[in-house]
Structures are given as structure tokens and as C-alpha cells.
Amino acid sequence: MNALAATNRNFQHAARILGLDSKLQKSLLIPFREIKVECTVPKDDSSFVSYIGFRIQHDNARGPMKGGIRYHPEVDPDEVNALAQLMTWKTAVADIPYGGAKGGIGCNPRELSVSELQRVTCVFTQKIHDLIGTHRDVPAPDMGTNSQTMAWILDEYSKFHSYSPAVVTGKPIELGGSLGREAATGRGVVFATEFLLAEYGMSIANMKFAIQGFGNVGSWAATFIHQKGGKVVAVSDITGAVKNQNGIDIPALLKHKEKTRSLKDFGGGDAMDPNDLLVHECDVLIPCALGGVLNKENAADVKAKFIIEAANHPTDPEADEILSRKGVIILPDIYANSGGVTVSYFEWVQNIQGFMWEEEKVNYELKRYMKRAFNDIKAMCHTYNCNLRMGAFTLGVNKVARATLLRGWEA
């Protein structure tokens, strides 16, 4: 099942639980606006190349739309639509005043020079500058983009609208980026894990963790788990996988990866097949990479008691049902990985106020927001006698539906 079908299915299940009107359901699913633009730029060899840029703005009932911009050669419109919709529910679950959006350019950033990437970004910004903005739609980095990309968007947008640091988040610190933003998603994953384990009288210390994906989110999550006394017994990414039942030395693994750009040949553990990581012996499994990795083929073999969805949509609905029957507790993506967008919100607030926070305040507020959201999800689970995924979806969908009705929606 693709990401859009799975997201729609979760939405419709939540809408049934809430008893939403069918016309309101349809209105909430249809994107507010879909933008598609042509971006033709000169390459370094003076030839010209054209790419398609896009932006899906899903919902703005609760505030400006928010979501990443990705650069990838095989951009799937359905996946982007699903991720824009997920951002609408995610921001509502986190109780930050945004709606959802997502977008990007169908290019391969690895095949472009820095100057070519800058030109592509500037042309894309020129085409959409009147449809984004501090109080309209606030982009952020995603797959294939980073803080430098956001700096280029800020610069190009400011040529049309004057200096506007709050038009994007995930910026360099020197241009109004927030302290704590780089580690925010991984830190939020660990906060969420702590809150869930505490419900069962457990803590991170001495629990065994397997982490799929060792990029920004996975590496920070592993670092914080290691610091809190948890044992990371297996890690994988696109370069390979490593295991050590006594716990991997995460600082040493980070140094090895920084030096070699690979997990291969790490002396502090044994190599393993990356495909085996999801079914590796552990207490807590944290998928931090791609969507759809847990499916009906491998779900029955998962040995973890808890799954923390740090990736977007890592668990197919079929796998969800299999894992639920096994008694595996799943903390859903629209809550578990919301640390990043929450600190993006803090960055936006700081930019609007022109008053920057210390990192300690950022981390304190992140923990407070995530604890409140966890308690709100638990309350929905209790009210509707549902699992954590439906608790989160009913929470998010209900907030957006209420905002839509209060603003005067009529069937």
C-alpha cells in the first residue's frame, strides 16, 4: 500500500471514530492548493536543463502551512501529497499553529554543482515567492536539501518581500536559525521513547535498541540513547550494518562514519545484513529511514516489544495489524518524529520576535510540548478505546476539523 493510500486509510478510520460528516471528511482530505512550476537553469557548461518544481499546500485552517522541500530525481506526487497531509495532522498533534505542506524539485542534487543547485533554488523561489511567506507557507529542509538551501530561498524571497527570516526554518544559525534545531528530531524521538517506556514502568537505561538509518535523526537518537545508558545493539544505513549485543560504542561509530563515510569495517561490532536489522533481537526498534519498511512480509518476525516510528510512514497498515496482534506497542510517526517541526516552530517564533533563545530553553520547551502531546494522545486513547496510532490521528484530525468548522465551513 502506497503512502497516500495508507495515510487516507488512517484518516478515514479516525474520522469514523470521531463521527465526522462525510462532506467535511472530503474537504479535509483535498489539498488547499497544488503548485507545479517549470525551472529552467543554465548549467556550468552553459547548456540548459529543465526541472519540475512543485509544492502541495494541504491545509491552513490552524495557521500557515509548513513542510519540507526535497530534491530527488524520482519525486512521487502521491508520496508528497501524503506527507503534506501528515504534516497537517502532525502539527495539530504537537499543538503548534500550522497546517501541512510539502514540495520539492525533481532533480538529483548529487549530480549538480553547488552553483547549479543555487541557480535551481533561486529560480524555484522566483516561481513560488508569492505563494509562500511568513504567515502563508513556511518551507524547511528535507531529503536532498539543507540549511544552505534555506539560506538561498531566504535571500531570493527577500529580494521581492524585504528581509524575511521567518519565511523558512532550518536556516544556518548566522541567518536566524535556532540553536538545537539540528538535533531536534532525534532528541524528540528519545523524549517520546522515555514517555512511552515510563507508562510500562521502564526506562531507556539497559534496554536494547536497534536503529535503522544513521543519518541526522538516527545518529542523534543513538547518541542520546547511549548517553542515557541504553544499549544500541544494531545500527544500519545504506552503507551497511553493524551489531554488538553488548552495546555499540556510539561516539566511536560516529567518528568511524565521519572518517570513512560508511558503517563498514567498524571495529566495535560485527557486520550484519542490513535487511536483518528490523527483525534483530532487541527491546525497542526505531526505524529512522524510509517509509514502508515494515510490511506483511517481515512484520511477523519482528522481535521488538516497542516500535518508535522516527521515519515517516515506516509501517504499512497490514504490518500494523500483524504487530498489534503480537502485542507490539507502536508509537506513531505523527507524534514520534514531531520534534523537528516543533523546534522549527520555535525558530519561526524567534524570527518573528527578533529575540533568540538559549539552547537550554529550546530543549526545555521541546520536552514540555512533547510531554503535553503524549498526554493528549493518551487521553484520546482512553476516550475512544483505541491504540496509540488512532489516538494520535483522532487528536490531530479533531483539532483541524474543529478549526475548520469554527472558521465558518459549511457543507
Whether residue 127 lies in the annotated active site? no
Q: In degrees, to the nearest 5, what angle opens at C-alpha 275 toward C-alphas 272 and 276?
A: 60
Closest Cα partner for 116 from 38, 37, 35, 51? 51
Cα 279 from Cα 273, distance rounded (Å): 11
C-alpha 87/C-alpha 65 separation (Å) is 9
Q: What percentage of the chain's residues is helix, strand, coil (to nearest 5)? A: 50, 15, 35
Report d(CA 389, CA 383) in Å as an integer: 14
Q: What is residue 331's three-state secondary structure?
A: strand
Pick the catalytic residue from 66, 102, 243, 305.
102
- Given a contact cutoff of 8 angstroms between Cβ atoms, the answer to whether 371 and 221 are in contact is no
Torsion 275-281-286-291 (CA) sign: positive
Any idea what DSSP says for residue 387? -
Burial of 124 (0-12, 13-18, 19+ CB in 10 A): buried
Q: Which residues pair with 125 in a beta bridge?
A: none
Which candidate, 231, 222, 239, 247, places its Cα nearest to that of 274?
Answer: 239
Terminal Cα distance for the chain, rounded: 31
Residues with a known catalytic role: 102
